[in-house]
Structure 1
Amino acid sequence: MSKQLMSNDVLNSLQPDCDNCFGLCCVALPYAKSADFAFDKDGGTPCKNLQSNYRCSIHSNLRNKGFKGCTVFECFGAGQKISQVTYNGQDWRENPEIAKEMFDVFPLLQQLHEMLLYLNEALSIEETLPIYEELQHAIEETEQLTNLSPNEILGLDIPSHRARVNNLLLQTSEIVRAKIKRDKKQSSKLKKGIDLIGANVSGRDLRGSNFRGALLIATNFRKSDLRMSDFIGADLRDADLSGANLHGSIFLTQAQVNAAKGDKHTKLPPSLNIPLHWVK
């Protein structure tokens, strides 16, 4: 049985397509005035910057206008799936009776799509061949859940499903990181959930690190070797990745990269892009 790379169709379906979404992230979710948002907004209330065509009036200038939080949000393609498939093109403005339900479904489908992204990435890794069938089954099961009716989605036990998926992702992480031989003293300092807020680990060999759920806010990773590391759920806000090598790292999303700092010398996995604010 041979492994397959994640196809462009699969990858595209798990990335945001704002042209085919009814601005759900700009309406369904709440946020509080902070360094990430310029004002408070309740869940279910349209953002003041959302236009009648469901486009953001300040999309090209979000960071300068005080909406950095918007630039690091990732729906994993759930927005267009709900807009065009779950509700078959019915929008919440012209069909206000479905608005609340649509907004409640959005974060649930977002979680399922996030799981699909991670599962498909795991499936594309050559070394996960021993758990290929389990990964494939989990993908098929999760995809089926995303195609349920709104009422059925609202009734799902997402935490239980996530726990089953997470078991496969943990196995994937162990398989990938096992390829890196690192000394035990260094490994003991980089345990799951480690707090490295503001730490200076620049220039270090951190290959195969387990950063799952780690707080890496403003961590200095300049010129560090982060290959084959697991970044699932890591908080990379303002982490400095300038000149760092993240080739082969797993479960790293575009949203996490967007939240960090870096430069043209940062080496990312091929599925991710250098954010515009890194090169300005």
Structure 2
Amino acid sequence: MISQSIKNNLTADCENCFGLCCVALPYAKSADFAFDKESGSPCRNLQKDFRCGIHGKLREEGFKGCTVYECFGAGQKVSRITYQGHDWRKQPEKAKEMFDLFPIMQQLHEMLCYLEEAMALKETKSIYPDLHDIYFKMEQLTNLSAAEILSQDIPAHRALVNELLLKTSLLVRSKIKNKKKPKGKNLLGAKMRHADLKGSDFRGALLIAADLREADLRLCDFIGADMRDADLSDANLEGSFFLTQAQINSAKGNDRTRLPLTLSKPKHWG
């Protein structure tokens, strides 16, 4: 019997997954990964029990990219709900379908995660019925068969969700008057130390290695922002939204970095 916690969990539960992110997803040798891996090819560190053989020392072994990935619960959903606990090793004829489905389920669960966050905000009271309605429809979509999900127009669903997330962003950030807008979306290595960026729209922004030390980042929209190696030391991100633990894990910070209540300071921050 499948527990309700697995059905509704929007965070990764590796104990209930068949190591799908370690097989389905490709990656190239880089600062984030120690070697190349093709889609559908199991990582050489994946063990027979679907656990990572170097999980406790991924960063030291050159797999920083693994430590900042979040499937939003798609792994256990595909493993335990869609395929009812039958793994890809025991049914190789279903392996490719399972691997194709996993990244799509990840997208659907990510959208559910953002919608869930939007519904919890007091500023979205006026659009709550619309948020609830599309959340229910998206959740129903994730419970379809693999073939039915693979036949869906995911970009069309994402566009509908994004429209409501944009409205959410405007409702939350409208409280901030005289906002200082960041200069574009390409903020790679940008020097913004001490900057007053409260209420900024960082949707899809490249914040890689940006200097955000001691910056005021309250009530900012961070959906889709690339925050790898961005320095958030002593920065204040309280009240910021559409910010994931994976994004925080990819950044730098310290004990004085203030985060939204739903997020935790990574161990590697020291």
Report the TM range for the smaller structure's normalisation: over 0.9
Deviations 1:110-153 (A, max 9, x none): 00000000000000000100000000001000001100000001
Output the amino acid matched with 1:154: L
CA distance in 2, matches of 1:227, 1:12: 29
Shift of 1:12: 7.0
Which amino acid is 1:181 matched to? K
Residues in 2 aligned to 1:260 and 1:95: alpha-carbon distance in whole angstroms: 39
Separation of aligned partners in 1, 2:267 and 2:66: 14
Corresponding position: 1:204 with 2:195: yes
Distance 1:265 1:125 in 2: 25
* Residue of structure 1 equivalent to 2:230: 239
1:141 to 137, 140, 144: 137
Paired-residue identity, %: 63
Does the Cα contact within 8 Å between 1:16 and 1:74 map onto a contact in 2? yes
Partner of 2:218: 227
Equivalent residue, structure 2, for 1:22: 18
Could you say what secondary structure the match of 1:25 adopts? helix
**1:182 shift after superposition:** 2.1
Number of the residue aligned with 2:168: 172
Given the alignment of the two structures, is residue 215 of structure 1 paired with residue 206 of structure 2, yes or no? yes
| SS of alignment partner, residue 46 of structure 2 | coil
Q: Is the 8 A contact 2:6 2:77 kept in 1?
A: no
Instruction: Tell me whether 1:82 sits opposite 2:73 in the alignment.
Output: no
Which stretch of the first structure deviates more once superposed, 164-173 or 262-271?
262-271
Give TM-score, length-normalised by structure 2.
Answer: 0.96
Q: Any conservation in 2 of the 1:232–1:252 contact (CA below 8 Å)? A: yes
- Corresponding residue for 1:104? 100
Kept in 2, the 8 Å contact 1:202–1:223? The answer is: yes
Moved over 6 A (4+): none
| Residue in 2 that maps onto 1:274 | 265
1:254 matched to 2:245: yes
Equivalent of residue 256 in structure 2, options 247, 261, 265: 265
Q: TM-score, normalised by structure 1?
A: 0.93
Instruction: Report what 2:57 is aligned to.
Output: 61
Give unmatched runs, 5+ long, in structure 2. Answer: none
> Judging changes above 3 Å, is the alpha-carbon distance between structure 1 residues 72 and 107 closer, same or farther for their aligned structure 2 residues?
same
Shift of 1:31: 0.5
Q: Aligned pair count?
A: 267
Whether the aligned pair in 2 keeps the contact of 1:190 and 1:210 (CA below 8 Å) is: no
Deviations 1:221-269 (A, max 9, x none): 1111100000000000000001111110010001100110001111111
Aligned pairs for 1:36-47 within 5 A: 36-47=32-43
RMSD of aligned Cα (Å): 1.5
**In the alignment, structure 1 residue 163 sits paired with structure 2 residue 159:** yes
Change (3 A) 1:11 1:100: closer
Q: Which amino acid aligns with 1:256?
A: Q
Q: CA deviation at 1:199?
A: 1.1
